Amino acid sequence: MNASQDNDTLIPPLPERPLGRTSWQVFVGSMRAFLLREMMNQFGRSRLGYVWALAEPAATVAVLAGLHAVVRGGHHALYGESPIVFFVFGAVPYFLYANVVAAAQGVCNSQKGLFNYRQIKPIDVLLARGVIDGLMMVGVAVVFLAGWWWLGHSLPLSDPLQLLWALFSLFVLGVSVGLVFEVFGTIYPDLRKVISMLTRPMFFISGVFFTIDMMPSGLREVLLWNPVLHGVDLTRGAVLPEYESPASWSYLWGFILVAQFIGLAAYRRYLYRLI
pLDDT of residue 123: 84
- Going residue by residue through the chain, which has 275 residues, state the pLDDT in tens, using 9 for 90 and above: 454 554 454 445 545 545 556 666 666 776 777 777 766 766 665 556 667 667 778 888 888 888 877 777 656 778 878 888 888 999 999 999 999 999 888 888 777 777 776 777 888 888 888 888 888 888 888 888 888 888 887 777 778 899 999 999 999 999 999 999 999 998 988 888 888 888 888 999 998 989 999 999 889 999 999 999 999 999 999 998 888 889 999 999 999 999 999 999 999 898 888 87
Map out the domains of the chain as residue ranges.
34-274
Residue 252 CB contacts under 8 Å (≥ 6 apart), including other chains: 169, 173, 227, 230, 231, 234
Asked if residue 185 lies in contact with residue 102, where contact means CB atoms within 8 angstroms, the answer is no
Full-model pTM: 0.84
- Burial (Cβ within 10 Å: 0-12, 13-18, ≥19) of residue 153: middle
Q: What are residue 78's DSSP bridge partners?
A: 81
Q: Report the alpha-carbon distance of residue 141 to residue 233 in Å, rounded.
A: 16
